[in-house]
């Protein structure tokens, strides 16, 4: 898993802060000079720095939420539990994908949301398989 560089940098800074706090606590408790302790425990003491404030704004983007009345009326697979399509209806009551499916195949694979689902298509209980 690739971690974004700014997250990695933040973690490094937090770890450095914790290391410094631990060394300060040991130094105070056992009356050991902090600089001697840094040189003994951490050969490269230049990496131990106090925490610096970094202002990073993380913006989460979401898909556009379609209002209930504007959603496609087709039923979707949804990992075997069924559900309503999340897209905006553009051709009548269907989105472009389900409209094309209805035109080419003459039926919707999982049916309409306001009708009973096709027999044997969906699980009655949540599937036991774990999905990533």
pLDDT digits (tens, 9 = 90+) for 123-132: 655 555 555 4
Question: d(Cα 24, Cα 124) in Å, to the nearest integer?
Answer: 59
Name the phi and psi angles at 87, rounded to 5: -80, 160
To which H or E segment does residue 83 belong?
A: strand 83-84
Residue 107 token pair: 């039926």
Distance in angstroms between the alpha carbons of the first and the last residue of the chain? 13
pLDDT digits (tens, 9 = 90+) for 72-96: 999 888 777 778 888 999 878 899 9
Question: d(Cα 95, Cα 12) in Å, to the nearest integer?
Answer: 47
For residue 92, the 8-state DSSP code is T
pLDDT at residue 56 greater than cutoff 80: no
Q: pTM (2 decimals)?
A: 0.44
């Amino acid at each position: 898993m690739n971690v974004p560089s700014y997250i990695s940098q933040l973690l490094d800074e937090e770890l450095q802060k914790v290391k410094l706090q631990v060394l300060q606590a040991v130094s105070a408790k056992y009356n050991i000079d902090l600089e001697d302790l840094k040189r003994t425990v951490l050969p490269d003491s230049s990496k131990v720095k106090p925490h610096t404030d970094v202002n990073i704004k993380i913006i989460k983007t979401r898909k556009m939420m379609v209002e209930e009345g504007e959603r496609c009326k087709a039923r979707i697979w949804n990992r075997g539990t069924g559900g309503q399509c999340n897209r905006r209806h553009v051709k009548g009551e269907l989105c472009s994908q389900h409209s094309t499916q209805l035109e080419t195949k003459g039926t919707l694979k999982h049916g309409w949301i306001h009708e009973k689902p096709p027999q044997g298509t969906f699980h009655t209980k949540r599937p036991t398989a774990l999905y990533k």
